[in-house]
Chains A and B, each alone.
Chain A
Amino acid sequence: MALFNGFLIVFFIILFALLIFLGQALRTSLFLRRKLPLAFCFIMGVTMIIQFFMPQDNLIYKEIEDLSVNWIKVIQSFALVIGLISLITLNFNKISRKSEDWQYAAVLLIGFLVTSFYGLRDGFEGKQFDFIFSYMYVPMQSTMFSILAFFVASAAFRAFRARSREATLLLTAAIIVMLGRVELGSIMWDKVWNIIPDGLQYGIGIDIKLNHYFDISDLAQWINTVFTTAGQRAILLGASLGYIAASFKILLGIERSYFGSEE
């Protein structure tokens, strides 16, 4: 066992040395910096397109799927280490230099270390880890999410000011949808109908009251399913075409700006 561990340590030292060497080569070699990633991008992109057109029970389909899922997991695990190194280094430097608001960095690092310690020691089922998750993480997350309600109100207040014809239209639609979504809206709608004299509540030649056809919740539903859906689908169609065109540009290397340079 000790021999195996020794081999493992040597293996990781060689691996890290190779990675450092590769990192240096990446900075200098044009082939490794530009052409190799482009070739990888093209080959993997075309492979995934071919996979899309294969039947789902084809053996190659399954092999490609398993392979890509495993590779994504491996890459994400390595990438997380990069992120964590950045996070720790940055906050540690902030504390050591006593930069402005360094106390926040200290809280972050302490939180990170304590959670990691209990998580690694006891796993997800550990009592302390569970306490941190249930009584600190979840309430903080809920707090952030609940802020959204207040922001919706303040954004709606600004957006719905009737300054132009379009804004007035938006305001009217918003009022109908808002009233249609709450019980109060239906009660108010019935009250308004009751004010109208009985004779006017019937359509010409119809025995049923008009409010049977025009309920505010139905009207709100109609605005959502017809106007909103139509607008959303138009945006989706354009965006989907944009997706395909952008993918095509990336696959063929026409779009290279995400490498950092156009050349």
Chain B
Amino acid sequence: MNNFKRYQGKNVRLLIYLCVFCALLVFSRNAHATDEIVASQSLAATDGVSLQVPASNEVTVASASKTEIPEELKKVYAGKDDVMVICSHLLRAKDLESKDLSTDEVQVLVMNALAQLPIENLTLAQVYDQALVLGIKRYDTSHDYFNPKRTNVLIAGIMLLSFIGYFTYHARQGKDMFIRKIAGLSAIDEAVGRATEMGKPVLFVPGIYDMDDIQTIAGVSILGHVAKKTAEYETNLLVPCTRSLVMSTSQEVVREAYLKAGRIDSFKPENIRYLTDDQFGYVAGVDGIMMREKPAANFYLGVFFAESLILAETGHHVGAIQIAGTAMVHQIPFFVAACDYTLIGEELFAASAYLSREPMQLGTLKGQDVGKFLIIIVIALGIILETFGVTAFSSWFTAR
């Protein structure tokens, strides 16, 4: 518990340092941007140019007017029907693409452009060009530090983190946290025990993604527990990897587990090997290992794609007990069909907390559950409101 407090204290300090660093960065950028505008304004004043628009905007406006006009817009404006044509082109315009504008917002731009232009002999191209210029001016966010369209994500994230923080705090105070039984994780000891009895090795496949994916990290966390058991039972553990970084991390994790179990002499670094970065080359390699070594227990924990069923079926043919876990929704049915136990989605991420029983980790699980409960309420509310034609609520949840 003291360790947790110590780490927590350090993290808070780190957070403060980072905030100060970010604030300094933001202020320095702001100052830089303000200097640029002031300089451009003074330059414009000496040249007798209007001071209404900052220099940065003038540059983008100039670039917009140089944009090639689509063929469809080279006709005279005839009425309301043409507004939608211009809108569809504006939504695809390169200069506005990154702004992620809605149809309504683009329509407003077109109407404003129409209001500013003389209606006689007006071509669609002129309206398009004017709307583009207005859009670039109005939605210029190059000097903003927050994207308001992601406010919903920020609020949802803060709420979820608050729940996690609250339950983590309570867990640190010693409050008992209940965690339901996860069959796949409880079966790990049974699988390693079976391999020991049969005198055959254990095969662990950490998926085909690199260490930058949370699923791979979750898989490697479980590898630590499996390695501890294989060290205690003196069973061979094979870990073929598809990424070099995963191999290095796995070697370190397994070495530490063997060290902890007091069996460092049994640790074989050559058993944790790199095969290839190629998806099907890796599958061929792992299948070859399975056919030659005939492992008694297979673990597939991490990110999997088309190779999931090839691996699981080969494992089934060699008669191994198989435990799989992934959050890839399209691969879960394959694992369910071919493996003895499957960790579905979130169960993979809960593994570390389940196996270690650390109060702080259990606290995060509890916070996650409250978040899930809140989502259920929001979904139910959304269904009711949508049924009665109220769309504002559900549109607020649109991710951008």
Contact = CB atoms under 8 A, between A and B. Distances in A.
B244 interface: yes
Nearest to B335: A155
Interface centre among B15, B168, B364 (most CB of A within 10 A): B364
B313 to A, nearest CB: 4
Contact of A58 (B143, B218, B288, B292): B143
Interface residues of B, number: 97
Contact of A159 (B10, B337, B365, B375): B337
B123 interface: no
Interface in B25-77: 25, 29
A248 B161 contact: yes
A61 to B, nearest CB: 9
Interface string B92-103: 000000111000
B170 to A, nearest CB: 14
B197 interface: no
A236 B329 contact: yes
A262 B356 contact: yes
Contact of A86 (B141, B157, B273, B348): B273
A30 interface: no
Contacts of A80: 244, 277
Contacts of B211: 258
Interface string B270-299: 100111011011011000100010000000
Contacts of B212: 72
B144 A79 contact: no
A58 B145 contact: yes
Contact of B345 (A76, A239, A263): A239
B192 interface: no
B244 A83 contact: yes
B372 A261 contact: no
Contacts of A55: 141-142, 144, 146-147
Contacts of B310: 144, 147-148, 151
B372 A247 contact: no
Contacts, number: 224
B190 interface: no
B327 A152 contact: no
Given A87-B275, A235-B332, A238-B346, A257 B224 contact: yes
Contact of A57 (B141, B154, B157, B161): B141
B280 A260 contact: no
A156 interface: yes
A106 to B, nearest CB: 14
Contacts of A263: 3
A80 B277 CA distance: 9
Contact of A247 (B15, B146, B214, B221): B214
A52 interface: yes
A242 B356 contact: no
A134 to B, nearest CB: 15
A122 interface: no
A242 B142 contact: no
Interface stretch (A1-9, A42-50, A209-217): A42-50
A155 B313 contact: yes
A235 B155 CA distance: 22
Contact of B217 (A50, A235, A246): A246
Interface in B240-295: 241, 243-245, 247-249, 252-257, 260, 270, 273-275, 277-278, 280-281, 283-284, 288, 292
B22 A242 contact: no
A58 B144 contact: yes
B208 interface: no
B368 interface: yes
Main secondary structure of the interface of A (DSSP, over half): helix
Contact of B253 (A101, A247, A249, A258): A258
B207 interface: no
B134 interface: no
Contacts of B368: 241-242, 244-245
A151 to B, nearest CB: 4
Interface centre among B245, B278, B337, B367 (most CB of A within 10 A): B337
B371 A241 contact: yes
A222 to B, nearest CB: 18
Interface string A79-98: 11111101100100100000
A148 B288 CA distance: 16
Contacts of A158: 337-338
Given A140-B284, A158-B337, A242-B368, A46 B273 contact: no
B98 A56 contact: yes
Contact of A148 (B248, B306, B345, B364): B306
Contacts of B252: 259-260
Contact of A249 (B15, B338, B361, B375): B361
B124 interface: no
B344 interface: yes
B356 A257 contact: yes
Interface of B: 3-4, 7-8, 10-11, 14-15, 18, 22, 25, 29, 98-100, 140-147, 150, 153-154, 157, 160-161, 164, 168, 210-212, 214, 217-218, 220-221, 224, 241, 243-245, 247-249, 252-257, 260, 270, 273-275, 277-278, 280-281, 283-284, 288, 292, 306, 309-310, 312-313, 327, 329-330, 332, 334, 336-338, 344-346, 348-350, 352, 356, 358, 360-361, 364-365, 367-368, 371-372, 375
Given A53-B146, A53-B154, A140-B281, 6 more contacts: A53-B150, A249-B361, A252-B8, A254-B364, A260-B249, A262-B358
The 7 closest A-B pairs by CB, nearest first: A83-B244, A260-B256, A242-B349, A55-B141, A242-B346, A83-B274, A239-B345
